[in-house]
Structures are given as C-alpha cells and as structure tokens.
Amino acid sequence: MTEILAIIPARSGSKGLPKKNIKLVNGHPLISYSIQAALESKSINRIICSTDSKNIGKIAQQYGAEVPFLRPKELAQDDTTDLETFYGLLNELRDRENYKPEIIVQLRPTCPIRLRGQIDDAIDLIRNDQTVDSVRSVALTKEHPYKMWKIKDETLYPLLGSKDLKEPYNMPRQQLPEVWWHTGTIDITRAKNIFSGTMTGKVIKPYIIDAKHAVDIDHIGSLYEAERIIKSINCIKP
C-alpha cells in the first residue's frame, strides 16, 4: 500500500493579509477547508499541518489535522521555499518516527476551493504511473503572457517573443496558444523528489480545474471572492 501524506503549510506571518490562514470564511477558519478536503480523500493516509504558530496548530488539530511539532522559525520566513519547508518536515518525521511516506500532497490553505473527488483523481495520476514525478493543478490563464510587457527606458518591450508568431501581442487571444496557470489548489509529488532537491522532478502531469474555482487568497478582496464562490457551489466545506 502506498503511504500518502497530506501536508498543509500554514505559517503565521503574512504581510498582505495578516493571520490569513485562520481568517473566517463562511464561518470557518480558512485552514479548515484544506483539512476537510484531505479528510474526505479516500487515498490520503495522514494529514499534517506544518506551522510555526501554536494558535494555528491548535485550530488545525480541532479540525482533524496532526501537528506533531512546530515548524522552526527559520523555516517560516517570507522567503522560505516550499522545498525547504517540506524537506525539513520529512527529515524530522523520519528522525522522530521513522515515518517515510512515498507520495506527498500539498494542500495550500490559501486555495480553499476543491470539489469532491478532485484530490483522489489527481493522486491516481501519479500513483498509477511510475514515470510521473509530480502533479500540479492548472487552469487556463486569464491574462495571456503574450499580451504582457516590460518597461525599460520608458519604452514597452514584449515580455515574451515568438519564432512562430509575428507580433503575438497584436493577435486576437483566440489565435494564441493555450497557456495554463499553476493554481496551487492541489500539488502532488514523490518524497524522493524532495530529498533530491526538487518539488516537482522532471515529468509533471497536469490536473486541470475550472479557472473560476482557482482563487489564491492573498488580500481581503480575494478572501471575499472565495467566500462568495464557496457559498454558491457544492465544494468541500468543514
């Protein structure tokens, strides 16, 4: 049996929206939506909240996640990467418990909208194919990168060039190639990738979700938008 660990990263610091991981959304703290989604998965064996905050840890435990230890402060800074956080957690679990999960599911609290069955469907993409290193949820991007610019010396320059398209920034969007945005809703990787120094490995499988459900909360407006969507659709709720 494949051991699958869900990790919910929830550090205390947040400049854009203070204490965002425990802000109430439709009557429940934001982090509870990711915990509930993990609890409803038929594939996940264990759920751990990685946090440097005793308060966040207490709330996570109340909703059904484990907090076996607090994250060190040096791994809870603004510039701390996912790789550093997950490597530290997996090493600690190995040293303390000899616990060695094979597949890691990252469920970010800031991306709370998940439909029933999505996590298990995404897990099947990696569990049933050993050539797949990781899975990432993606949606069609709302703003096309060929329409984006950079400014240098008060002059606009296209962000991206193209060998195949002439002036793609002047072309109708419908004629441009599809571009997919990493939503952060469901990320899955193999533990061996993390110990090798990468969150994804080389073969990354897409798990496509509806762009209208791809909300990443980093300010008060996106928090209200997530709450509106949660109230209007049959997504996983605590």
Q: To 5 degrees, how large is the angle CA 178–CA 179–CA 184?
A: 140
Q: CA-CA distance, 114 to 214, in Å (whole number)?
A: 9
Task: For residue 150, report the phi and psi dihedrals to the nearest 5 degrees.
Answer: -120, 155
Which token pair is 221?
């407006």
May I ask the CATH class of domain 4-137+182-232? alpha beta
Domain with CATH 3.90.550.10 in the chain: 4-137+182-232
Q: How much is the pLDDT for 74? A: 93
Q: How much is the pLDDT for 24? A: 95
Q: How would you write the pLDDT of the chain (238 residues) with one tens digit per residue? A: 899 999 999 999 877 788 999 999 999 999 999 999 999 999 999 999 999 999 999 999 999 999 999 999 999 998 999 999 999 999 999 999 999 999 999 999 999 999 999 999 999 999 999 999 999 999 999 889 999 999 999 999 999 988 889 999 999 988 999 999 999 999 999 999 999 999 999 999 999 999 999 999 989 999 999 999 999 999 999 9
pTM of the model: 0.93
Distance between alpha carbon 41 and the CA centroid of its chain, in Å?
Answer: 16
Contacts of residue 7, defined as CB under 8 A and 6 or more positions apart, other chains included, come to 48, 49, 50, 86, 89, 104, 105, 106, 107
Q: CA-CA distance, 73 to 174, in Å (whole number)?
A: 47
- Residue 46 pairs with which residues in a beta bridge? 5
